[in-house]
Amino acid sequence: VFGLEYDLDLFNIVVVPDFNMGAMENKSLNVFQSRLVLASPEAATDGDYAAILGVIGHEYFHNWTGNRVTCRDWFR
């Protein structure tokens, strides 16, 4: 992304059954509520898969925008 390499040796994902935030990004660690990562092929709907894709993408993208790439100042 943006021609940059990931700057850490490891990227971790933790899935927690009762994580009340839904998901949270941290440097080198994303924490997710289990329903936003794990889906049962027998029961999941297209909406479930769309939510999973959106949340994982959103949290991972924080590694690039806001955490690594941001505006120089708030006046631009």
Residue 7 CA to its chain's centroid (Å): 17
pTM: 0.72
- Per the CB < 8 A criterion, the answer to whether 33 and 22 are in contact is yes
Q: Does 72 map to a domain?
A: no
Q: Does 30 map to a domain?
A: yes
Please report, as a single letter, which amino acid is at residue 13. Answer: I
Active site residue 59: yes
Choosing from 5, 25, 42, 59, which is the catalytic residue?
A: 59
DSSP strands (E only) in 1-76: 12-16, 23-26, 29-33
Structural domain span for residue 18:
12-61
Q: Does 1 map to a domain?
A: no
pLDDT in tens, 10-54: 889 999 998 888 899 888 899 999 989 999 999 999 999 999 999
Q: Does 74 map to a domain?
A: no
Tokens read off for 39: 């889906």
Number of domains in the chain: 1
